[in-house]
Amino acid sequence: MVRSDIIRGHLDSIILRLISEKDRYGYEISQEISLRTNNRFQIKEATLYAIFQRLEKREIIEAYYGDITHGGKRKYYRITPLGKAYLNELVREWTEVKEIIDLFMEGLE
C-alpha cells in the first residue's frame, strides 16, 4: 500500500482525470482508482465526497442525477471548461514536480 499522505496532494488530479474521460459517479471513481492501482491505493468515500464538494464549489466539476438504477438516482459528476483548464495546469505542475524528484531519486533503487 502507498502512504495516502503522499498521494493526498494529487487527488484532485486523479479524480479530474477520471471524470475527464467520462462522466462518473462516486462509487465508480473509487472502484476505478482501486482497479488502476491494482488495489495499491484506495480512496475513502468521505474523502472523495469532500473533494467533490470542494471542486463543485469552485465550478471545476458539476453534478447531475442520472436515471434511476438499483432503486436510486445516481449523482454523476462532469468536468467543466474551467475544470479542464485546471486539470491541464495540474498536469504541467506534476510534470515539473516529477522531474525535480527524479533528479534526486533516480538510480537509488
Cα 24 to Cα 76: distance, rounded to the nearest angstrom:
5
Q: 79 Cβ partners below 8 Å, 6+ apart?
A: 16, 19, 20, 60, 61, 87
Kindly report the CATH class assigned to 4-105: mainly alpha
- Tell me which residues of the chain have a pLDDT lower than 50: none
pLDDT of residue 2: 67
